[in-house]
Amino acid sequence: MQIPFEQLLRVAWYEAFRHRWLLIAGFLLINVVAIAAGLSWPPSYLSSTTILVEQKNIIQPLMQGAAVAGDIRDQAKIAREVIFSRKVMTKTLEQIGVLQEGQSDLRQEKIFEATKDRTRITNVGPNIIRVEYQDRDPERAFKATKAFADLFIAESFASQAKESQSAYDFIDGQVGEYHEKLTRAEQALKEFRTANIDARPGTSAEVAKRVDELEVAIEKTALLQKEAKIEEESIEKQLSGEAEITLNLTRESQYTARIAELQAQLENLRLTYRDTYPDIVRIKHQIEDLTESLTKARHDREDARKAAQAGQQTFVDENVRFNPIYQRLKQQLFDTRTKIQTLNARFGEAKSRLKTEIDRATRVHGGEA
């Protein structure tokens, strides 16, 4: 027969109420035992420090492309190897007063292992490690953590200094070896040139060949200069002709044509209407405005012409300047003039080099005589 769940709850509540003093006594006993255990349990303190490990090696800029510089990858692993080494552990335990003289090797090994168990080294970020040490004595925990960090940094500096010194000694040796080879090569070349005069630069055959090459280059450059000057004159003539052809497209011509058109409309309207007719009045005003604009355009053009003549420049109407054909010719003229300047510079350089080679030939012939 299965008892309903609600009935079980009522029975349990009834039994608990009947033995309530026993339950209260058990609860109090458990709390007292827990508090006593907590008070009697020895305290433990955790001290930690964070170290930033520089990834870049101090000799890396010098050794790039020539040798492989040290590269720290697993920072925590490297730190554990350094901190848990016999040298660092011994110094740390001596500083905190745990390791003393007269202790047996077995005792010291147990101390080392216990210290390693209470020490934790982890990576907390890129190039950042954390060293934690746990001990019952807070001062000893602090001193141990500080000693681990100081000794690790000192060992890292010493390792980098040793690596840098080795690299420097290697580079210095290579430089000395290359310098000695270069000195021997220069001396051998000097002796060879002394024994073989014809092998030295500046002999008569070589100088004569360079003089001939420069004379040919000067002739070609002079011919190109003449061709460029002819091309420049041709483009200037084309520009002048293009300005004359495009002159009828100026604003003055447009104003004149519009005025003539309005005059014709005005004459037609006067055949039918009086001068007070609105369209006739409007056309008259338009003719007056256009006439005023035409007069202003002529004055502006004349002023620009006079200013250009005063500055000894060629006057070109505004509409002519914006003509596509005129723009293309102007670009061709600019390119041609640039080409002429380049040829002039090349011609001058060739003449200077020719004079230098002729002077050298004179010295060579004098030495041979």
The size of the chain, in residues, is: 369
CA angle in degrees (0–180, nearest 5) for 51-54-58: 145
Q: What is the pLDDT of residue 249?
A: 46
Full strand arrangement of the beta sheet holding 119-125: 45-52, 128-135, 119-125
Q: What is the pLDDT of residue 33?
A: 73
Residue 317 neighbours by CB under 8 Å, 6+ apart: 243, 246, 247, 250, 301
| Cα dihedral 169, 171, 176, 177 in deg (nearest 10) | 110
The upper half-sphere exposure of residue 61, i.e. CA atoms within 13 Å in the direction of its Cβ, equals 1
Q: What is the pLDDT of residue 325?
A: 67
Tokens in use for 221? 């450059």
Q: Is 357 exposed, middle or buried (0-12, 13-18, 19+ CB in 10 A)?
A: buried
Q: What is the DSSP string of 119-137?
A: EEEEEEETTEEEEEEEESS
Q: Encode 212-225: b = buried (16+ Cβ within 10 Å), e = exposed.
A: eebeebbeebeebb
Return the number of other C-beta atoms located less than 10 Å from residue 15's C-beta.
Answer: 11
Report whether 82 contacts 88 (CB < 8 A): yes
Helix, strand or coil, per DSSP, at residue 277: coil
The amino acid present at 79, given as its one-letter code, is: A
Helices (H), 196-277: 204-246, 251-270
- Round to whole Å and give the CA distance between 129 and 132: 10
Q: pLDDT (tens digit, 0 to 9) for every residue of the chain, 369 residues total?
A: 566 777 777 777 777 777 778 778 777 888 777 776 655 556 678 888 888 887 666 556 655 555 444 444 578 888 888 888 888 888 888 888 888 777 888 888 888 898 888 899 888 888 888 999 998 888 888 988 998 889 888 888 888 888 888 888 888 888 888 888 888 888 887 776 565 444 455 566 777 788 788 888 888 888 888 888 888 887 777 665 544 444 444 566 777 888 888 888 888 888 888 888 888 888 888 888 888 888 887 777 677 666 655 654 454 555 555 566 667 777 887 888 888 888 888 888 888 888 887 777 665 554 444
